[in-house]
A and B are shown apart, each in its own frame.
Chain A
Amino acid sequence: MIKILNNLSIMILPAIIVFILIYALCTKTKAYESFIDGAKEGFDVAVRIIPYLVAIMVCVAAFRESGAILIIEKMLRPLLEFFKIPVETLTIMLTRSLSGSATLGVLSDIINQTGVESYATKLAAVITGSSETTFYVASVYFGAIGIKKFRHALLAGILADIVGIVAAIGICRIFFL
């Protein structure tokens, strides 16, 4: 089953490209000229988002390295013990929405500390796999089009992240404890 799904996800993109090209051939569309047109747009977009990316990523890095996250971790400790949540997984809950590469770093850290078959590892893996880097997605997407007032977008994203983490804790207890 996993193999089928993995193969499917490898195959799907080339299949889409081939299909688009064949369709263009059938409808006698100028494929090369169209491609160049679109590629120029792609270049512009990637360059335009640089300043926004720098601003957000610097903020997040400062928050992480300064130890601000550690202070939050200390405050929440008693609550964690009550819900049988391994303390090691708290960092991943806090970094998940902030930084994708940091989350992968924390995940390997948890594997090293608690062993690959531990409950902490499984919970951390489910949290990592089931969510996205909310702040990063927001900065890329809204940054690209120059939106400055995010309105309720971030709040909705963060609330969904919280629901996701609570769900992960609940589901993992059923599956792995």
Chain B
Amino acid sequence: MILISFVCAIFTGNIANTFDAMLLASKKAVEFAISLIGIMAFWLGIVKIAQNSGLMEKFSKLIKKPLGFLFPDLKQNSDAMSNIALNVSANAFGLGNAATPFGIKAMEDMQEQNKDKETATNSMCTFLAMNTAGFQIVPALVIAILAASGMENPGQIILPTLIVTSIAFVSAIFFSKLLERFNIK
């Protein structure tokens, strides 16, 4: 990708800009990770309380059945299951920042029972595809932007967005389940 970009940059004469943007991006990446520390620490702290009090176990039992269907190899891994459940519900309410720590924790739980630590398991792929589809009930940020720009009725995009995101969510699950049969290395 870097190579293609540089070839393009030579043709368009954007080499200086491209390099500047790359340096800026690396700075932004670190800034993001730093800003994530607080949220991450806070959430995992709260979640740890839920875990130690036994609440997590109860919650995960509740949603184990529908999710167990999607992640057959995680039946014995209740930590991963409950983190997946928390991630999906946080995303649905448009709480992307809260969903990320749960998602990363779920990935770590899945990694524990992964035999080849550098290769993703089927469940990891399904879970990632579900997250990249970005299912949410209300696209709060987009509505805020439209309202701020003076759209008369920004709520009009909620229903079409919900339909589209549901279609994308279902197809993400479908494609990951379909592709895992081919066992791509």
Size category of the B interface is 35 or more
A8-B93, A156-B175 known; A163-B52 Cβ under 8 A: no
Q: Which residues of chain A have a CB within 8 Å of any CB of chain B?
A: 1-2, 5-6, 8-9, 12-13, 17, 20-21, 23-24, 27, 29-31, 34-43, 45-47, 49-50, 53-54, 56-68, 70-71, 97, 101, 104, 107-108, 111, 116-117, 121-122, 125-134, 137-138, 140-142, 144-153, 155-157, 159-161, 163-164, 167-168, 171-172, 175-176
Contact A156 B125 (CB under 8 A): yes
Q: Which residues of A contact B156 (CB under 8 A)?
A: 122, 175
Main secondary structure of the interface of B (DSSP, over half): helix
Contact B22 A61 (CB under 8 A): yes
Q: Which of B32, B128, B163 has the most CB of A within 10 A?
A: B128
In the bound complex, how far is the Cα of B28 from the Cα of A54, in angstroms? Answer: 8
Q: Choose one: A42, A61, A142; the contact of B21 (CB below 8 Å).
A: A61
Residue of A nearest to B11 (CB): A67
Q: Is B43 an interface residue (CB 8 A)?
A: yes
* A-B contact number at CB 8 A: 348
Contact A138 B26 (CB under 8 A): no
Residue of B nearest to A127 (CB): B164
Q: Which residues of B contact A129 (CB under 8 A)?
A: 136, 139, 141-143, 157, 161, 165
Contact A24 B52 (CB under 8 A): yes
Residue of A nearest to B36 (CB): A46
Q: Which residues of A contact B103 (CB under 8 A)?
A: 140-141
Q: Choose one: B33, B146, B152, B163; the contact of A47 (CB below 8 Å).
A: B33
Q: Is B73 an interface residue (CB 8 A)?
A: no
